[in-house]
Amino acid sequence: MNAGNSMSLASNTSVNSTTEDPGIKSKGFLGNIIVMFILALMFNISALVMIIRSSKSHRWSAFYRLMVSLNITDLFGSITCFPVLLATYANNVEWQGGQQLCNYTGYMISFVVLSSAAIVGTMSLERFIGVWFPFFYNNPTAKERRTNILLGTVWVTVAFISLLPIIGFGEYVLQYPGTWCFYNFRAQNLADKIYAYMYSVFWILTILFTIIFNLVKLVLRRIRAQDKKKQYDKANRNEIYSIILLIIIVIVTATCGIPMAIRAIVNESGSMKDNSADLHASRMATFNLVLDPLVYIFFRRENLECLFRFIRKRHGRSEKSPEQCNSTSTKTDNKATSASNQEKIEISSST
């Protein structure tokens, strides 16, 4: 470990310790982190098992390939990042790994956070291509190759971006309260500032373009559905289920990721340091590892089918129009009248 990295690590830790003694809360936070780690493992593994077991129905379409990749990325992040965090809190919030462990933790967090956002963006782009270029999209050979190329491009690009601070362009430093490392929010030299802005802007743009792709896709799908008067067949319903699932994942990703990216830009611009806000933003970004698989577990196609079936039944029972009710009562009255007339005829004939 060189002298510059050692000084930055030590100075950052000292600043954090003067603001608030993190050792006081270490035991409480340790329990929370253990619970979050267990939930992240349980939910991601459960989501993967559910996707694999239902492979006969979705036939490993592009959407589900990317969904599996998202779960694998989140599971990988949980396994590689949480143990370091647990060890630090168990050690009374004392960082023991030096700059090398800081580089490792910073790289893993940067890779997982940006990869998750980029994969969700790729899922949105894939669905957007399906609506905008249906003939190109429905080519089975091109579809599989395109999905593999997009996923490979995401992982390679994000891996390279996350590696830059380790090779000298940017810097990973210990963040408040001295339990995790990320790129320097308050860099002094030009290269570190450029990297901090580049990563944050790329992160925000990925989420924003994901939202734009979904909005445009919904508008286009609505227009084409009106023009062609599509019937709600099985394929169309499955597409609707995928869109609902993707929209909820996009909302979760944006809610968890944007605060952290904005805090990084605010800090880099020279505003007053707010360790508490940075810590809350980082926890929201980490919580995304738990929420992504949970969204799939609750909003997968099978559950949405049951939900819509229940809504249709309730809707059909509660929405009998006044005309239908009047016609039903009229038919009943007519039957009763005809029955009484028939009785009168029988009585008169018998007498």
Q: pLDDT grade, residue 164 (50/70/90)? A: very high
Residue with token string 């570190």? 192
Distance of CA 148 to the CA centre of its chain: 20
Task: State residue 294's pLDDT score.
Answer: 85
Classify residue 337: in a domain, yes or no. no
Q: How far apart are CA 149 and CA 21, in angstroms?
A: 48
Classify residue 261: in a domain, yes or no. yes
What are the pLDDT digits (tens) for 313-330?
A: 777 665 544 444 445 445
Classify residue 82: in a domain, yes or no. yes
Residue with token string 């992240």? 40
Kindly give, in sequence order, each residue whose CB lies less than 8 Å from that of residue 47, ignoring residues fewer than 6 positions away.
71, 293, 296, 297
**What is the arithmetic mean of pLDDT over 247-251?**
86
Residue with token string 């500032």? 193
Q: The domain containing residue 187 runs over which residues?
A: 23-308
Classify residue 18: in a domain, yes or no. no
pLDDT at 36 over 60: yes
Instruction: Say which CATH number the domain at 178 has.
Output: 1.20.1070.10
Q: How far apart are CA 67 and CA 52, in angstroms?
A: 11
Q: How far apart are CA 261 and CA 282, in angstroms?
A: 9
Residue with token string 């008169």? 348
What are the pLDDT digits (tens) for 39-61?
A: 889 988 988 888 888 777 666 67
Higher pLDDT, 80 or 3: 80
Q: pLDDT grade, residue 336 (50/70/90)? A: very low
Classify residue 11: in a domain, yes or no. no
Task: State residue 160's pLDDT score.
Answer: 94
Classify residue 334: in a domain, yes or no. no
Q: pLDDT grade, residue 296 (50/70/90)? A: confident
Higher pLDDT, 232 or 302: 302
The domain tally of the chain equals 1
Classify residue 7: in a domain, yes or no. no
Q: How far apart are CA 82 and CA 47, in angstroms?
A: 19
pLDDT at 6 over 70: no
Q: pLDDT grade, residue 234 (50/70/90)? A: low
Classify residue 225: in a domain, yes or no. yes
**What is the arithmetic mean of pLDDT over 83-87?**
88
The per-residue pLDDT of the chain, averaged, comes to: 75
Give the 3-state secondary structure of the chain.
CCHHHHHHHHHHHHHHHHHCCHHHHHHHHHHHHHHHHHHHHHHHHHHHHHHHHCHHHHCCCHHHHHHHHHHHHHHHHHHHHHHHHHHHHHCCCCCCCHHHHHHHHHHHHHHHHHHHHHHHHHHHHHHHHHHHCHHHHCCHHHHHHHHHHHHHHHHHHHHHHHHCCCCCCCCEEEECCCCEEEECCCCCCHHHHHHHHHHHHHHHHHHHHHHHHHHHHHHHHHHHHHHHCCCCCHHHHHHHHHHHHHHHHHHHHHHHHHHHHHHHHHHHCCCCCCHHHHHHHHHHHHHHHHHHHHHHHHHCHHHHHHHHHHHHHHHHHHCCCHHHHHHHHHHHHHHHHHHHHHHHHHHHHHC
Q: How far apart are CA 177 and CA 102, in angstroms?
A: 13
Q: How far apart are the first and last CA of the chain?
A: 118
